[in-house]
Amino acid sequence: MGSAGLARLHGLFAVYKPPGLKWKHLRDTVELQLLKVRGPAFTSLKVGVGHRLDAQASGVLVLGVGRGRRLLTDMYDAHLTKDYTVRGLLGKATDDFCEDGRLVEKTTYDHVTREKLDRILAMIQGSHQKALVMYSNLDLKTQEAYEMAVRGLIRPMNKSPMLITGIRCLHFAPPEFLLEVQCMHETQKQLRKLVHEIGLELKTTSVCSQVRRIRDGFFTLDDALLRTQWDLHSIQDAIQSAALRVAAELEKNLRLGWGIHQHPSPGQPWDSAGPSSAWELESNMKH
User: Which active-site residues does the annotation give?
Assistant: 54
- 3-state DSSP assignment of residue 269: coil
**Separation of alpha carbons 207 and 189, rounded Å:** 12
CB neighbourhood size of 172 (10 A): 17
CB neighbourhood size of 193 (10 A): 15
CA of residue 119 relative to chain centroid, distance: 26
**Separation of alpha carbons 278 and 244, rounded Å:** 10
The number of C-alpha atoms within 13 Å of 203 and in the hemisphere containing its C-beta is 5
**Separation of alpha carbons 214 and 180, rounded Å:** 9
Pairing of strands 163-173, 103-106: unpaired
Contact assessment for residue 164 and residue 183, using Cβ atoms and an 8 Å cutoff: yes
Specify the DSSP element, H or E, that contains 59. Answer: strand 58-65
Nearest partner of 210 among 96, 105, 56, judged by Cα: 56
